[in-house]
Structure 1
Amino acid sequence: MCGLAGFVDDAPADEKSPVLRSMTDVLKHRGPDDEGHYVDGQVAMGFRRLSIIDLQGGNQPICSRDSSMIITFNGEIYNYKELREELTKRGHTFTTASDTEVILHGYEEWGEGVLNRLRGMFAFVIWDREKGRLFGARDHFGIKPLYYAQMGGTFMYASEIKSLLLHPRFRKELNEQALRPYLTFQYPALHETFFKGVFALPEGHCFTYEAGELKISRYYDCRFSEGGQSLDDLVDSIDSAVQDSVRVHQVADVEVGSFLSSGVDSSYVAALARPCHTYSIGFAEGGKDESEQADELAALLDLNNTSEVLDGDRAFASFPQIQWYMDEPDSNPSCVPLFFLSELAARDLKVVLSGEGADELFAGYTDYGVHTRSKLIKVFTRLLGELPRPARYAIGRWAQGKNFHGALQLSSNLGPAEETFIGQAMVFDPEEADRLLTPGFRSSPDVWQIVGATYDRLKGQDLSELKKKQYLDMHQWMPGDILLKADKMTMAHSLELRVPLLDQQLMTVAEQVPTRYLITDENTKYAFRLAAGRHLPPAWSKRPKMGFPVPIRQWLREEKYCRLVREVFQRDYTALFFNQEALLKMVDDNFAGKTDDRRKIWTVFTFLIWYDVYFIHDGAKPDLMDMAA
C-alpha cells in the first residue's frame, strides 16, 4: 500500500525533481517506509512506500531489464506468485520478489490484457520510454484511488488530490457543478472532483497518455444474471469462495489483523482469518456501543480484540483533519469512527482485513426493498412481483408518493429501479437543495441524470430491479463513498486495508445469485448470511445491518457542538453557497427537537469544513480543533 504521484511535460529534469519531491512528501502518510523517484526529460514518477511484501527488495520505481519501462504501483496483487511462475516459464527473469515487478513483466507479455489477470487491488502507472507513452489503471472495483488532471501543458496524476495541488501548473478552482449533487448523495458523485479539472479514474478503467492525447477505456464490468443453483449449492459456493478469498488476502510479509464490528461481514472475515489481533471502536454517547458486541464475539471466537470508546470532543477536534485526508467532502458519519479505528490498529500493525463489499455483492441494504416489518405486506409484495413486468411497473408507479402503510415497499420493489433508486444516500432531495443553495450553484447535473448514465449500460439486459440497484451501487456508492473513505481513513495512519469480500472470484459467485436468495421475508443478504452462519453464532449471522452507529443526533442537540456548527454556518464564506438564514433555522429547530435534520446539517457542515481547509487555508493540514470551550 503506497502513494503515487507524477507528471508528463517538457520541463527539464532538474526542474521536475523538486516539484516531484514536494508532491510525494505530502503523501508520506501513505508510505512512510521508503520513497523513490524517476525523472527524465519527459516524465517524473514518484513513490512513497508502505512495505508489506518483499520488504527489502520491493522498492519503487522498478525498471524492466532493458530499462525501457518503469512502473510505480499502489496496492496488492494476491495471485502474483502464480503469475510470476507463468511469466518465468515464458522466459521472463525477475530481480525482486515483489508483486510490482510481476505487473511490469505481465504488461510486457500481455499489454493491457494483464489487467484481467490481476487478482487484487491496484492503481499503477507504467512509463514506456521508447514509445513516450504513459499507461495507467485502477482496479476492477475502485478499491485504490487514482486522480488525474491536464493543466498548462502538463498531464499529472496522484493517489490523492492534495499532491496535485503542489504542481506549479495546477490551477485550483472549485468545481461549482459538484456541490448540488453532493447535497443529495453525501459524497462526490461526479467523475470530475470538487476541484475543477481534476478527475477520478473510474473503477475498472485504464488510460494511455501519449503525444499530448489522453485515452480512457473500460476493461472490466460486473455482469449480474440469474443463476440456477439450489440454495444449498449456492451457500457452499459462497462459503468456499469467501474462505479462499480470506486466505489469499492474508498473504504478506508482515502480520495481518482485522477490524471487528457487531455486523456479520467483518465478523465472518475475522472468524475465518483468526488473526492475532482484531480492533473495534464505539461511542460513549447514544447507547449503541459496537465495541461491546465485538468484544463479546472475540471472547466466543478466542480472538484478541482491542477496543476503544470515543466521545464527541475527539470527533469534532479531529474533523478538519479527517476532511484534509479525504481530499473531498464526504458526510458519511462513519468516516469519523473509521479514522479512529485505523489509528487504533496502526499502533500495532500495518495491515488489516475488513468487511466492505458484501452489502453490494449480496444485497445487504434495506433500501433494496425491505421497507416494512409486516409479513403480510412482504408476502403481498412478493406475489405481485410474479406479475409480468408491465403490470409490476404500473403498480409500483401508482404507489410512488402515496403515504399508506406499505406504499414505499410496493414502489421500491415493483417500480423501475431507474425511477425509484439513486443509491444508499438521499440527504437533500433536489428541490430542497435548490432552495438552500445560492443561484450560482443550482445549475449542475440532476441526480437522475447522474444515475441514469449508469442505468443506461443495463439496457437490453433482463435483470430484476434488485440486481439493477446492486449494479448502480457497485458503480456509484461503493467507489464514491464506501471504498474511498476506507482507503483515505486507513492510509491517514499508514495502514493497509484489505477487503476479502470484494474479490474478483467471489464476484463471479455473487453475480449469479438468484434474486430470491438475496433478500427474503427473513432478512437481507440471505444466502450470504447462511454461509456466514456456518462460522458464527446466530446472533451475529442474522443481526440486521446497522453500519457505524455514530451519535450525530445527540451531538447536534448538545449545546457546545451545536454552537460550533452554528459558528461555521455564520462565517462569511458560507453565504457564497447557502441561504444562511435557512441554515441557522435548520440548526436551531433541530437543537430544540422540533425537527430531526441531523444528516442535512452534518452534510452542509462537512462541506464547509472541507472548503475552509482547502480554500480558506489553502490546503494546509489543520491542527486539532480546540474543544476546551
Structure 2
Amino acid sequence: MCRICGFTFEKKDEIEKIKRMSDSLRRGGPDDEGLFVDKNLCLCSRRLSIIDLSMKAHQPMLSEDKNYVITYNGEIYNFKEIREELKKQNFEFFSESDTEVILKSYILWGEESFKKFNGMFAFAIFDRKKSLLYLVRDTMGIKPLYYSIRNGRIIFSSEIRGFKSYDDKWEEDERWRIYFLIFGFIPSPFTTLKDVFLLKEGHFLRYDLKTKEIEIRKYYDYNFSCKIKREEEAKDGVKEYLSNAVRRHLISDAPIGVFLSGGIDSTLIAILSSKFKGKIKTLSITFKEREYDETLYQKIVSKSIGSEHHSYEVKKDDFYKNLEDIMDAMDQPTFDGVNTYFISKYAKEIGLKSVLSGLGGDEIFGGYPSFKRIEYLMFSRELLNTLIFEKIDDDRLKRFTYFNIKNPIAYYLMLRSVFTLKEISIILDADIREINNFLKDLYWEKGIKDLGRKNFVSYLEMFYMKNQLLKDSDFMSMWNSVEIRVPFLDKELLDYAFSIDERIRFKKEKYLLKKGFDKLLPAEIIERKKQGFSFPMKEWLKEIEFPINQSVLNRKAVSVFIKKQREGKLHWTKNWSLFIVSLKKF
C-alpha cells in the first residue's frame, strides 16, 4: 500500500516539484520513498509496506531490462496465481511482491493484463519502448487516482493535496461548494480543483509522451445479469464467494486485524477471518451515548471467536481535541469520515498496518432502508406536486423538491441530499438555474433506467459508497498509515452477486448473508435491528462555533441553520457541512 504521484516536464528545474508532492503524501507512505526521473517524466512512491517488507519491493520498480517502470498503490489478492501463470511463460522474479507481478503481467499481456487483477489498486506504468504512460484504477474504485492535463502535460496523484504541492496557486473549481452542499461529498469525476479529475473505476488512461495525446478507456465493467434464479444456489454461492474473498484479503506480511462494529457485515468478516487465520485482533469503538453504542454485540462476537479484542471509547472531548487533525486528514470535503479517522487512529496505536472492514455489505446485499423506500418514492413522484414542499419547514419533506429533476439523480437526492437547491442558492447567493446546470454535468451509465427497482437502488447506493465511503476510508486511514481492506468488494464476489436475480438478492434485508451463514452468525446478531457505524455528532455539534466565511457564505442564512440545529430542528450534517465550507481550504 502506498501513495503515488508523478508528472511530465519540459525543464529540469521543474523536477524539484516531485519532492514537494512526495512530502505532502508522506502520511500515507511513511516506510519508504522512491523517485524515478527520465528525460521528461518523474514518478514517485511513498510506501506503506504490507506485502514483501524487504527493499526488493522498493518503488518505483523497474523491469530487469529497464524498459518498464511502475509506481503502485494497493493490493492484488490473486497475485500468487498470476505469478504462477507468468512463471509458466518463463518469467523469473526477484521479489515476493505483487508490484512485480503487475509489472510483468503488463510486459506479457499489455492492456489486457488489467482485467486479470482482483484487488484494490491505482498504479502508473511507464512503457519506455512505446513512450506511453498508463494510469489504471481498480474495478470498484477502492483506491483513488487523480489526474490533470495542463498545456499538454500530465500530473497525477493519489490525493488532491499532491496537486496543491505541485502548484500552491492551483485554481479551485467553482462548483465544489455547490456539489458538496448537495451531496455531502464531491461526486466523481470532479474535485475541489479546476481541471483535476478522478479517474473512473475500471478505466485506464493512456498518455503518449511523444504526441501528448490522451485516451481514457474502460477495461472492465460489472453488469446486473440476474441469471441465477434459484435461491439455494444463490445462498450457497454467496457463502462460497465471500469466504474465498475473506481468505484472499488476509494475505499480508504485516500485522492485520478486523474492524468490528457488531453488525452483520463486520461480524461475518471477523468470524471468517478467525476461521482462516486463528486468533485475530479485533477493534471497536464505543460511546457513552447509549443510542450509538454497540458494546453488547461487539462483546458477543469477540467472545464467540476468541479474538484479542480492543475497545476504545470516543468522547466529545476526543472529537474536539482531534478536530484540527481530522480537518487536515480530509483531502476532499466530506460530512462523513470522522468514524474512520478514529478507528484507523486506534488501529495504528495497537500496531496494525492493515484492517478488514465490512464496508460494501449494505450496498451489495440490501442493508439500507432505501431498498424498502424505493417503491414508495416511485409512486410518490407520479402523484405529488413538489412545489408545495418548498414552503414546508420539515427538513425531510423538503427533499421532495428534487423530484423536479428529470434524471436518475432525483431519487438519490431524495434519499440522501444535504440541502435543497433553493437552500443552497440562499446559502451561497447563487442562481438556482446555475446550480441545476451543474447537476447536468454529472455522468450516469447508460441503461440505468432499465434496471429492476432493487438493482436501481443498489446502483444508487454504490454511487454513495464510491463517492463518499471509499474516499473517506482511503484518506482517513492512510493519514494514520493504516490500510483498509474491503472483502465485500472482492471482484469475484461482485461478479457473482450481480448475477443473482434481484428478487432473491433483496428478498429481505441481508437475506442471503443471514441464510448463507446462519450456522456461523450468533442469533443476537441476526435478529438485531440495523444500526449504522455512526457517531453522536448530533449531540457533539450543538456547541460547535465557527466564524462564518462571508466571502463564500450568506451570514444571515447560515446563522438561521446554526440556531435550528442547536434547537434540535435540523440534521447535524447541515451544520457540519457549513463548518467545513467555512473553515477548510482544499
| TM-score, normalising length: structure 1 | 0.84
Question: How far 1:361 moved relative to its partner?
Answer: 1.5
- Relative distance call for 1:395 and 1:277 in structure 2 (3 A) is closer
Instruction: Please state how far the C-alpha of 1:153 moved relative to its aligned partner.
Output: 5.0
- Check conservation: 1:269, 1:354, Cα contact below 8 A: yes
By how many angstroms is 1:443 displaced?
2.4
Query: What is the letter of the counterpart of residue 297 of structure 2?
Result: Q
Shift of 1:370: 4.0
1:339-378 → structure 2 map (5 Å cutoff): 339-347=341-349, 348-370=351-373
Unaligned stretches of 5+ in structure 1? 372-380, 386-391, 615-629
**1:456 aligned onto 2:458:** no
Distance 1:264 1:458 in 2: 29
> Following the alignment from structure 2 to structure 1, what is the Cα–Cα distance between the partners of residues 420 and 529?
27
SS at 1:182's partner residue?
A: helix
User: Structure 1: how far apart are the matches of 2:88 and 2:385?
Assistant: 60
Counterpart of 2:582, as a letter, is L
Cα distance, 1:239–1:394 mapped onto 2, change above 3 Å: closer
CA distance in 1, matches of 2:239, 2:227: 17
Match of 1:439 among 394, 418, 430: 430
Structure 1 residues 424 and 313: CA distance shift in structure 2, 3 A: farther
The question of 1:497 aligning with 2:488 is answered no
Confirm or deny: 8 A CA contact 1:184 1:428 kept in the other structure.
yes
- CA shift at 1:592, angstroms? 2.9
Q: Which residue of 2 aligns with 1:466?
A: 454
Does residue 246 of structure 2 align to residue 255 of structure 1? no
**CA shift for structure 1 position 429:** 1.8
The equivalent of 2:51 in structure 1 is 53
SS in 2 for 1:180: helix
After superposition, give the CA deviation of every residue in 1:287-335 in whole Å (9 maximum; x if it has no partner): 4213443133211222221011111222133233223222111002xx1
Residue by residue, what CA displacement relative to the aligned partner does 1:67-100 show, whole Å, maximum 9, x if unpaired? 0110011001111111111112112222211110
Number of the residue aligned with 1:626: none
Q: Give deviations 1:200-254, integer Å, cap 9, x for gaps.
A: 1111111011132222112122201323432222111101101000001111112
Q: Is the 8 A contact 1:346 1:494 kept in 2?
A: yes
1:133: which partner in 2?
132
Amino acid in structure 2 at the alignment position of 1:456 = K
Whether the 8 Å CA contact 1:323–1:329 is kept in 2: the answer is: no
8 Å contact from structure 2 (residues 339, 534) kept in 1:
no
Residue 598 (str. 1) matches residue 572 (str. 2): yes
The letter of the residue matching 1:587 is: I
User: Structure 2 CA distance, aligned partners of 1:203 and 1:115?
Assistant: 12
The residue aligned with 1:623 is none
The Cα shift of 1:38 comes to: 0.6
Work out which of the residue numbers 564, 567, 583 in structure 1 matches 2:558.
Answer: 583
Question: How far off is 1:282 after superposition?
Answer: 2.2
Does the CA-based 8 Å contact 2:422-2:432 persist in structure 1? no
Distance in 2 (CA, whole Å) between partners of 1:528 and 1:71 is 38
Q: Deviations over 1:242-273 (max 9, x none)?
A: 10000011111123211000211111100110
Show CA shifts across 1:451-470 (max 9, x none): 6x3153435x4x21221222
Structure 2: which 5+ runs fail to align? 390-396
Shift in Å at residue 525 of structure 1? 2.4
- Given that residues 3 and 48 in structure 1 are in contact (C-alpha distance below 8 angstroms), is that contact kept between their aligned partners in structure 2? yes
Alignment-derived partner of residue 176 in structure 1 = 174
Aligned twin of 2:394: none
d(CA) in 2 for partners of 1:137, 1:146? 8
2:537 counterpart residue number: 552
Asked whether the 8 Å contact 1:393–1:416 carries over to 2, the reply is no
Q: Secondary structure at the match of 1:94?
A: coil
Partner of 2:323: 319
Contact 1:285 1:554 in 2 (8 A): no
Partner of 2:96: 97
Residue 171 of structure 1 deviates from its aligned partner by 4.0
In 2, are the aligned partners of 1:182 and 1:188 still within 8 Å (CA)? yes
- Kindly indicate whether the alpha-carbon contact (under 8 Å) linking 1:38 and 1:46 is maintained by their aligned counterparts in 2: yes
Q: Which residue of 2 aligns with 1:374?
A: none
Q: Which residue of 1 aligns with 2:392?
A: none
**Partner Cα distance (1:592, 1:119) in 2:** 49
- Aligned partner of 2:6 in structure 1 is 6
1:428-486 CA distances to partner (integer Å, 9 max, x unpaired)? 122222222223797245576356x3153435x4x212212222333x21221011111
Aligned mate of 1:483, from 454, 459, 470:
470
- 2-structure distance, mates of 1:338, 1:30: 15
Comparing 174-183 with 488-497, which one deviates more in the overlay?
174-183
Percent identity between the two aligned chains: 32
Q: Which amino acid aligns with 1:361?
A: I
Q: How does 1:60-99 map to 2 (within 5 A)?
A: 60-99=59-98
Within the alignment, does 1:526 sit opposite 2:511 as a pair? Answer: yes
Q: Could you report, residue by residue, the CA deviation over 1:404-450 in whole angstroms, capped at 9, with x for unpaired residues?
A: xxx999x99xx996653348621112222222222379724557635
Change in Cα spacing, 1:279 to 1:395, as seen in structure 2 (3 Å) is: closer
Q: Distance in 2 between matches of 1:441 and 1:60?
A: 48
Q: Which moved more, 1:346-355 or 1:323-332?
A: 323-332
Q: Give the partner amino acid of 2:576.
A: W
1:302 to 299, 306, 310: 306
The one-letter code matched in structure 2 to 1:93 is: E
The residue type equivalent to 2:244 in the other structure is D
- Does the 8 Å CA contact 1:286/1:554 hold for their aligned counterparts? no
Residue 534 of structure 1, CA deviation: 3.0
- The one-letter amino acid of 2:372's match is G
Residue identity in the other structure for 2:289: E
Q: Secondary structure at the match of 1:165?
A: helix
Residue 417 and residue 152 in structure 1: after superposition, are their counterparts in 2 closer, same or farther (change >3 A)?
A: closer
* C-alpha contact (below 8 Å) 1:285/1:311 kept by paired residues: no
TM-score, length basis structure 2: 0.90
C-alpha offsets along residues 137-184 of structure 1, whole Å, 9 cap, x if unaligned?
Answer: 01000110111122355311111111121224x642221112212212
Any conservation in 1 of the 2:355–2:482 contact (CA below 8 Å)?
yes
Distance in 2 (alpha carbons) for counterparts of 1:516 and 1:221: 22
CA contact (8 A) 2:297 2:524 kept: no
Distance in 2, matches of 1:494 and 1:158, equals 17
1:244 is aligned to 244
Partner secondary structure for residue 121 of structure 2: strand
Output the aligned Cα RMSD. Answer: 2.7
Q: Aligned pairs, how many?
A: 566
Cα deviation code 1:116-145 (max 9, x no counterpart): 100111000011223221111010001101
- Tell me, in whole angstroms, the C-alpha distance in 2 between the residues paired with 1:458 and 1:554: 39
Structure 2 CA distance for aligned equivalents of residues 423 and 107 of structure 1: 44
Contact persistence 1:137–1:206 (CA under 8 A): yes
Which whole-Å CA distance do the structure 1 matches of 2:81 and 2:565 have between them?
57
Aligned to 1:232: 232
**Counterpart in the other structure of 2:393:** none
Cα distance in 1 between the residues matched to 2:459 and 2:307:
35
Distance (whole Å) between structure 1 residues aligned to residue 578 and residue 380 of structure 2:
36
User: SS of the residue aligned with 2:444?
Assistant: helix
- Alpha carbons of structure 1 residues 89 and 309: separation in structure 2 relative to 1, 3 Å: same
Q: Which amino acid aligns with 1:158?
A: S
